[in-house]
Structures are given as C-alpha cells and as structure tokens.
Structure 1
C-alpha cells in the first residue's frame, strides 16, 4: 500500500531531482566556461607581467647606477628574478601560431638579462661610460619587449577570436536552452502535481459522494475506492459501517414487524380466550348435570348407569384442561381407562381391551390428551366397522433410554399414504371422535414437547392390524417427575 506520506515524499524527490539536475548542468557549464576564461586571461597576464618586469628591471638598474646602495641592489636582484619567472611563464604559451614570435620574445628577455648583468659588471669596474652605453642598449631591448608583448597579444586575439565567438554563441544558446528547459520542467512538474493531487482528491471525492448517499438513506450501494493508500482503508471501514448500519436497520424493521405480528397475535389470543371461555360454559354446565344424574342414578339403584355417568364426567373434566399443559402418564392412563369403560358400555363384548403396564414408568410427563385420540382412532377404524368387533392392546414398558408405549389393534390396518400423512403432522379426520383432536395434531404436540422427531412410529403390516409406538425420553421425564413431587 502506498501511503499519502510516501506520495508526498515521491513528489518532493521528483522536484529535488529536477532541481539537482538543473543545478548540476549550470554548475558544470559555468565551471567549464570559467576555466576557459581563466586560461585565456592567464595568457594575457603572463605577457603583461613579462612586459612590466622588463620595464621594472630598467628602472631598478637605473636607480642602482645612480646610487649603488644595498637596497637598490636587492631591488634589482628581485626584478631579475621576476623577469626570469615571467620568461618561464611565457614559455608555456607556445603554440603553432606564435612559435616564432614567442621564441624571439624569449630571446629578447634573455638579452635583457644578459645586458643588465654586463652593465652591472662595467659599473663595478668603474667604467661609467661603457656602463651607460650598455644601459642604453638594455633600455632599447626593454622597449622591444613591450612592443613585442603587444604583438603577441594581438596574435592571441586573432588566434582565439573564433573561440571567443563560440563561447559567446554557446552562452546565448545555453540561455535559450535554460529557458526552454525551465518551461519544460515546469510543465512536467505541473502535470506530475496534477496526477499526484488527483490520486488524493479523487478517492476523497468518491468517499464524500458515498457519505452524501448515506446521509440520504442509500445503504444499498457499495462504496468502492480504487486507490492503494489510507483512503482505501478508510473507504473499506466506511463500507463495513454501511453494511452494519444497513443490517441494523433491517433488524430493527424485522423486530418492528415481529412486534406488530406479536401484538396482533396477542389480540387474537385474547379473542380466542374469550371464545374458549364462552365455549366452556356449556361443557361445565353439562359436567355438573352429569354429576347430578350419576348421584341420582346411584340413589335409585342403577349403579352401572351411575358408573357410566361418572366416567363420562371424569372424561369431560379432563378434556376441559388446556392442551399446552403436561400431565403424568399415570393421569393419561386413568383417563384412558375411563374412556374405554364408556366404549365397553357402547360395544359390550365386541370391544376387548388388554393392558400390560409397568407401574414404575407412570411418573413420566406427557402432553395432555395424547393417548385418548390414538386409542379413539383405533376404536373408530378398527372396532366400529367390524361386526365381530376387535381387540386393542395397550402396553407400557421400560426401554433402555426411553419409556415405550404401544397401542395395537387387530383391525384392517392403515395404508402407507395415511401413515405418511400422520407422521408429516397433517390433520387426519376421524369420524365420530369426541375430543376434536386429530392424530396429526398429537404427533405435532409430542415432537414439540420433547424436541425430537423419532418420538412416534406407526407400523401396519399388509396382513392387517396397526401398532402405534410412542418413545418417551427419560431425562426430561425424571426432571418433570421431581417437579411434580415438589408440587405435591
């Protein structure tokens, strides 16, 4: 990832590179031109020093001839050393154009030094006239040296005239080149700065547009930024925030919808309770009436009729309980026996009911009105249609991990399609049943109560007969049994 700080450093590096390149080029050109000017000026200075040294040696020699002091002698020796040094410097100016002239010039300097020595020698020998003549000759040589210096300078000017003009032309061309280079570099820097600033402002602009959309409630549009810096990371976090806010809004809407449905369900529940209360008025009246009739029958000596009325009243009392309450298997078995007493009174010897019950298993909890609808289904479909009647067997035994309840009849049996409908919790109507609870409803309540799918099984072989097997878990049953004991 390229950070914004790295981009800024890149911009600074590019600007510094161009500035360093320009500075290096200017420095190199200036140093080269200055070196060339120094060489030319050094040639002129050498010739000028040689001419000045020749004139100075004449002046110092004249002073010494007039007054032969040690100071004048020392000054003359310094002038001789100076002109010899100038002679050596002039020797370095030799080239093809001034070779002959420069040789003559050096010879004149040698002649001047020699004439000066000779004049000093004659002066020391007290030959004043000869010394004056030699001094006059030295003065003439000095004048020749000055004239020849001018000649050499003129030759140098002619020799390097082309070079001077080239330097001037190069300087002008370099100035023009510098102007164009400056304009080009300025344009490049402007383009690079525009590209660099766009790399920062473009993602920021996209992020601003995304924030504007979010402020208007548009949480369904993805935020995409194609940069590779901190702004891209910020955009990712911004998009994640958008998703979280959108999910939160959807969750709030779902909760509001659920709350609305719950409120509606509460209203429906209150209405259903009212209807249920209204529907229970007549059954309670009927129950009280049956109870009165059973006592009257007992007082009149009709004990069998009294028992029948007691069973019907007990069955009615039990059916008035809410279906969402759990009961013990013991209660269910008692109600089942009352129900079968009523059916025996109806079918007499046509109905045979056999039980095999392990009393230790009757503590388990089971949804209310579970056994009666199953047995009632067997009575309606296996006993009632048969002229000779039939047999219903009811068993309760202790399994390995569950308590097994079996309800078996010897009727014509069930088809596979009907068994499938029951196990899929579809309502299967049964003609003449009194509870109004279908077989499929019993299956559904059992599975909801225990949270298991394999709590019920139906077997019906092709030869006839049907067996319904309930497998009640013990874990929940034991806990429910403890709670029921505490309540007692």
Structure 2
C-alpha cells in the first residue's frame, strides 16, 4: 500500500469514525430517554395491576359465596396470591412524595385479603350474616383501593410532569445538537479535504517549478518537498539527478581550470625548483654549524658561550625527535638541565633552581618532551614576570610502586577554573611563548594516553601560593629491574 492510498483510507476512516461517533451519541441519549419513559410506564401499569387484582379478588369471592365449591375457593386463593404479588411490585414504587399514601395503599391490600379470608371462614362455619358483612367490608376496601390508585397515579403524573417537559426540551436540544454537529462535520470535512488535496497538489506544484528552474540551467537550487508519499520519493530522485548534473558541470570546470593552471605551472617549474633548493636548510647543517661555533668560542676563551651554544644544539637535536617515542627519565632530566642552563644565562640570578633526585627512578620510561614544557611553563609564569625572579624546585622520589615527580614554583599561582581548563582542554593561548610548541595540556594528554589512566598528573595551585605539578609514574616489572640495576651501579 503506497502513501497516497493510505491518505485516502485515512480520510475515509476519519469520516466513518465521525459518523459512528454521532450515531453512538444519539443512540445513547435516545436509549436513556426510552428507559426513563419505560420506568414511568411500568409504575402506572403496576398500580393498575393492583387495582385489577383487587377487582378479580372481589369477583372470585362473590362467586364463591353465591355457590361455594372447592374449585371456586381455589380460584379465590389464586387471585389473592396474584394480588399479594402485585403488592410487592407496588412497594418498589415508594418515593418521598408518595410514601404515606403508598403505605396506606399496601395496608388496604393486606386488609382486603384478610377480610376476604374472614368472609370465607364464616361461610364455611355456616354463618351467612357475618360472611355477608365481611364481603361488604371487602367491597368497600376495594373501592378505597381504586380511589387510592387514582390518587397515586395523579401524584405520579404531577411528579413526573417535569420529566415529560424535559423530554420535550431534550428533543429540541437534540435537534439543535444535530444541526451543530452537521455544520461542524461539514466544516471539518471541508478543511480535511482541503488539507488532503493540498498535500498532493502542493508538492506537485513545487516539483513543476523545480523542473522549470532546471530547464533554465539553474542547478544550484535545492528541491525541498516535505511529505511521506511517492511524490517525495520522486522529488528526492529528481534532486539527486540535479546534484549529479551540477557535480558533473563542476568537475568539467575544475578540469578546465586545472589544465590552465598546469600550463602555467610548467612555465614556473624550473624557477620554483631553484628557489626551493636555495631556501632549504638541512637540520644536520644547523647542528654542525652550532657545534663549530661552540668549538670556536671555546678556542677563543669564551667557555660559557661555548657551553651555551652546545646546550642549544643539544636541545634542538632532542626536540626534533618523534614525540611518539618513549625515553628514559634520565634523558628527560638531561635535556631539562640543558634548558635550565640556557634560561639561567638569560635570567642570571633571577632564576633559582633546586633539585632532589632519586637515582633508582631514572630508568623509568615516559613520553618524549614531558618535563621541559612544564619547566618552561613555570619559568614563563613564575620567574619572567617577577622582578626578583623565582624559585623552581624539582624532585624525583620513589613511593611504593610509583615514582613521584614534582615541579614546584613560587609564582603567583593560578585559580581552580584555569587549572580545570588546563587539565581538560587547555587554554587556547597556552602554546604562545613556548619554544618547543608543546603546550601543557598536550603533555597532560600524552601522559594519560601513554600510561592509560587519568590521575597520572595533577596540578595544585592557589592565587598567591605558587604551583605544584605532580606526575606519578608506575613501576612495571621491567622498569623496576632497570631501576634496581641502575641503583646498584
């Protein structure tokens, strides 16, 4: 079943549902009214039935007294039983308006049955005078019952007069409701028909406009049709065709542009190759040059300058290593000390450096360029901005199965928000001012990736209290053997 057929079936089902709902509502109200009317009619019938049973009892008693027989006596007993049964039905009609009258009515029925039995008894005792008296009393009670029946019926009529009027008013309201429902259904069907036709004709109209745009050579306008039927599928297919044609045209234009650029590139190829050769600098040539300058400074008697140039050459050579290679803590410490020497030449007495090193930890492995960026960050923020400089303390100690590396400075410190940003994402300007280009957050990420845990590095700092960076390197079995061998040496 396709989507358009589903829409038609949905419309038909909606109309059918509305009609069924109206029929159910009207049937419910009609049934309710009919039940109330039947209930009132049953009340009248029960009262008339009691009167009829009373008359039948008087007639059966009269027949028996005129010519007594067992058959007539049986007939009398049967009519009395029917009268008593009718009395039970009368008792169910009690309400606030007829309670007293209905009680007297029931008592009269009991008196009629009792008096008729007395009349029969006196007849059986051969006392016709008393039997006749009881018969007259029974006849009088029957008249009272008839009059009381009329009285009760009159009360019922007055009681349920508002109901009859309500039925008439309800009929009028049902007529008005029918008119309103008819109008409402008409409006809903018109709106639904309009929406249904629009959901089919509008996409077709858009598809027609898109086809006209394509015929004019405009392949950059997207075809958007929001529907869930076959027209949407047709529009998507049409749009893919537009995209393919547009891509083909773009490829042809790019190829033409590339051919044009290729011709120009051929003309400038030799010149660009020459300039490229002139601009290349071999890193080994740079190292050799620095070594030559270091030796020349040494020969000229500038030993400090020679040592400084040698430190710069060693630092550059170390920084050109691949960052994904692991190195020993000894290697990191060596390059860090060269960096400290270079910075001491820059800051002289403003840079104070103290270290406490446990040699048993120097063979542990860690990522390349881990310590130098942290020291560099401490110098930039704890030494450079202060007129009196600052103190940097570097410690390596073993604590159980871990090597604890601590780098502490006496700078102004940083707030918790900045610490959190460094540990999570790192500030965007963090790498500015670093000679290596390796930022603090980059060190954090590489340490976590190398050791496979998050708590490998931590920062403790507060404004005005300096900063303490702690790195925890676990001792593996292999690393522990190397460390013990180094300690024994």
TM-score (normalizing by structure 2): 0.46
TM-score, normalised relative to structure 1: 0.46
